[in-house]
Amino acid sequence: MSDSKLPSGIDRVVGQRIRWRRRELKLSQEQLAELLSLTFQQVQKYEKGVNRVSAGRLFEIASVMGVPVNYFYDGAEEQLEEDRNRFMESGGLDEGPRAPVLDADTLDLIAAFQKIEDDSLRKSLLNTVRAAASAFESKQDED
């Protein structure tokens, strides 16, 4: 398989966004696969960024999930910037960055957070989570 056929960081962003939207809609991988006439394994590969999603297939996914195609590219600009920075730092090509695989609790947290409309409450919660993460990092550094 040529390098151009390998999934990129953006492919992983698209896959992650498919997963987020599927979870927002409370669909299983099997249910989404049935709506798209795919196997659940193919949906799983798309979500993990193992397989690229073609333009036509992404259009179908967007239609079934009730979002515009550009929904799946949210975060892609940051991924491109990371790819560029990694390329410049390494002085050459590498496998590219991996989008993190998010567990169910993290996805639930993101979905719940997005429903909070009060900006000051969102900022307060974000600061609380950052402080907790920082404290946890500091504790781990001590150990």
The DSSP annotation for 22-41 comes to HHHTT--HHHHHHHHT--HH
**Which pLDDT tens digit goes with each residue over 75-97?**
777 766 776 666 666 665 444 44
User: What is the model's pTM?
Assistant: 0.57
78 DSSP assignment: H
Domains, the chain, in order of start with CATH, read 3-102 (1.10.260.40), 103-143 (no CATH)
Q: Looking at residue 143, what is its pLDDT?
A: 66
